[in-house]
Amino acid sequence: MPGMADVSAATARPPLEPVGEYAAELAALAGRLDAAAGWYAVFAAHDPQGLRDCLAGREVPPWDVVASLLEDFTRLYGTGPARRAEERLLRLHAAATAAYDVWAGGAPALRSRLAVLEGESAEAAARVRALEADGGPELAWALDHLARTESRRAELRARHAALGASTREGPAERDEAERNEAERNEAERDETERAVAPEHHGPASAPAPNIPAHPNRRARTGGSRFAGAPLAAADAAGPAAIVPPGAPSPDLVTPVAGNAGAAAAGEPPPRGARFAGAVRRPAAAVPAPEEVAEARAAEAETAARLTHLRRAGSGGEAHALLCEAAGRQPLRFAVLVEELHRRGMTSDAGILLWEAAALPAGAFAAAAGALCSLGRTEDGARLLRQGAHRPPQEVAEAALALHRAGRESGAVELLAAVIRARSPSGAAEVVSAAPAVSAAAAAPAAPSVLVPLVLDAAGTLSPEHRRRVADALRAAGVPGVPGAV
């Protein structure tokens, strides 16, 4: 179905428990949001049926839609509760899409959708090249369309890889993982509900969102914010704005009193590796003050232009500008994230992070490192968590790049997100992919670097995670795993 749905689906709810659990959790989150503001208002106004179907469990929303709702949640309740909700929803999303992909046709169906997106991506790239000389709004639309198809391809590739991993995992291990997952989700749900109690001055919880039953028109699929959703035939003529002209822009939403600075509050930085001496720790580079000043001057102009586009209702051009900015030199990207936060444009900062999550592995790691070098530790961690669904080889490449850059805590954050979102065998696949990365990057020690990092990442979650990941590494034949962890 066009719009918010991840795939075209039957109108009846899929008979899948993970999809129902994911939908229930998402509906609970939506019930705590202001339905008249932010991304929630945009979705409700321009694809109400799609929103209803996703919250009812009839269809599975792509992760970027959930990330947008989490941006609204962050503005209302702050970084801590939002991060806990994000981590829980990320796991539920992985379980729901895995179950749904099997139900909807498995790997062949995903490959068919990827083949369609390959063609669309080539056409979009050709259109960008044809319009580069003229510039203007048409180029902005073309860039938006290209970014959208690339993001969809990345998400579908990751889901295809995850589907392959699930078929190799034994039934007993899956059953144990599902039991542990259910217990964790129940405990974390209670914790988050306490964290967003009425004294936080958020909107009251509602049993269901008040979504108009008969919209004037349905939203068209657009940008990476609908990653993974196939284009309808009616959309083939050209892309549509993520925030349509005249629609409320999320960066103009006033935060709830008492939470305006919560997103920038002192969250603890990601924990680094505890394998003292086991992995060589390069020093992280710090940008020169002159470089930072030059980048700030340039990106202040970008932020001013983005503000003008938002006020003019030019959502498509604004999104295209963010897509382009995500691929800039890492320091400039990080400075722009900082500048958007400074101006209160937190939703656009979130979009910028989401677009950067689709960069090639090396550039993705460099972007996260640049954020940390400016002290934007939580933004860097958020970007890394959004990379958890990359294929194993890309995760390995990014983790090794972070380690080489002296960002070991970032590598641990990324690997911990992978362990949360996948099974222990998924973490083992990342380490097993390291030899291929070593051959490409002339880094023969890559597996020996990743083993302690991935075990440390598992240890930040729980001793049980660490034990299970170590067992999965041994079962996969990975050398260098300690005998007792």
230-248 tens-digit pLDDT: 333 333 333 333 333 333 3
pLDDT digit string, tens, across residues 181-238 = 445 445 544 444 444 443 333 333 333 344 433 333 333 333 333 333 333 333 333 3
The residue-averaged pLDDT of 368-375 equals 93
Note the pLDDT tens digit of each residue in 378-423: 999 989 988 888 888 999 999 999 999 999 999 999 999 888 887 7
**Average pLDDT, stretch 464-471?**
92
Does residue 468 fall inside a structural domain?
yes
Burial label, 206 (beta-carbon count in 10 A; 0-12, 13-18, 19+): middle
Inter-CA distances, 466 with 382, 401, 416, Å = 22, 23, 10
Predicted confidence (pLDDT) per residue in 60-105, tens digit: 887 777 877 888 888 888 878 888 888 889 888 888 888 888 888 8
- Return the pLDDT at 335: 95
Give the Cα separation of 311 and 293 in Å (integer): 27
Structural domain contains residue 210: no
pLDDT tens, position by position, 157-171: 888 877 765 554 444
Give the start-end residues of each E strand in 351-443.
none
Give the mean pLDDT of 115-138.
78
Assess if residue 233 is contained within a domain: no
User: Domain end: 197, 220, 244, which one?
Assistant: 197
Two tokens, residue 262: 């919560």
Residue 448 lies in a domain: yes
Lowest mean pLDDT among 25-29, 41-45, 272-276: 272-276
- pLDDT-derived band at 363 (thresholds 50, 70, 90) equals very high
pLDDT score at 156: 76
Q: Which of 16-30, 99-113, 318-332 has the lowest mean pLDDT?
A: 99-113
- CA dist 89 and 84 (Å) reads 9
Pair (78, 139) in one structural domain: yes
- Please indicate, yes or no, whether residues 370 and 395 belong to a single structural domain of this protein: no
Residue 135: pLDDT band (50, 70, 90) is low
Residue-level pLDDT at 12:
53
- Least confident piece of the model among 62-76, 106-120, 262-276: 262-276
Residues 21, 396: Cα–Cα separation, whole Å: 30
Work out the pLDDT band at 469, boundaries 50, 70, 90.
very high
Count: domains in the chain: 3
- State whether 362 and 434 are in the same domain: no
Choose the final residue of a domain: 386, 417, 437: 386
Give the amino acid at 378: E
Structure tokens at 98: 């895995």
The pLDDT value given to residue 234: 30
Averaged pLDDT, 424-449: 70
Q: Could you give the angle at the alpha carbon of 384 between the alpha carbons of 383 and 388, nearest 5°?
A: 115
Amino acid 145: pLDDT: 65
Separation CA 73–CA 80 (nearest Å): 11
Contacts 24+ apart (CB under 8 A), 198-204: 200/76, 200/77, 200/78, 200/256, 200/258, 200/259, 201/256, 201/257, 201/258, 201/259, 202/32, 202/76, 202/77, 202/256, 202/259, 203/32, 203/33, 203/34, 203/76, 203/256
Alpha-carbon distance of 330 to 346, in angstroms, equals 19
Tokens of 79: 């970084």
- 266 in a structural domain: no
**Domain final position from 168, 197, 226:** 197
Whether residues 400 and 339 fall in one domain: no
- Residue 337, pLDDT > 50, answer yes
> Mean pLDDT in the chain?
72
Residue 383, C-beta contacts closer than 8 angstroms, at least 6 positions apart: 353, 356, 357, 364, 367, 368, 371
Do residues 365 and 410 both lie within one domain?
no
Does position 14 have pLDDT exceeding 90, yes or no?
no
Residue 414's pLDDT is 94
pLDDT at 449 over 70: yes
Q: Is residue 222 part of a domain?
A: no
- Do 313 and 398 reside in the same domain of the chain? no
pLDDT of 427 > 50? The answer is yes
d(CA 75, CA 30): 13
Is residue 231 included in any domain, yes or no? no
Residue 36 pLDDT: 80
The tokens of 117 are what?
A: 């997106």
Closest by CA position to 334, among listed 356, 315, 319: 356
Q: Name the DSSP class of 482.
A: -
Q: What residue numbers bound the domain in which 31 lies?
A: 17-197
Q: Are residues 360 and 394 in the same domain?
A: no
Residues 372 and 397 in one domain: no
CB 479 within 8 A of CB 445: no
448 and 372 both lie in a single domain: no
**Judgement on whether residues 51 and 186 belong to the same structural domain of the protein:** yes
Q: What DSSP designation does 263 have?
A: G
- Give Cβ neighbours of residue 129 (< 8 Å, ≥ 6 apart): none
Structure tokens at 313: 């209702």
Q: In this structure, are residues 455 and 428 in contact, taking their beta carbons and an 8 Å threshold? A: no
Provide the pLDDT for residue 125.
Answer: 82
Q: Are residues 78 and 140 in the same domain?
A: yes
| Mean local confidence (pLDDT), 7-26 | 71
User: Is 203 among the domain residues?
Assistant: no
pLDDT confidence of residue 148: 61
Q: Write the CB contacts of 290 (distance below 8 Å, at least 6 apart in sequence).
A: none
- Report whether pLDDT(276) > 60: no
Q: Tell whether 453 and 311 lie within a shared domain.
A: no
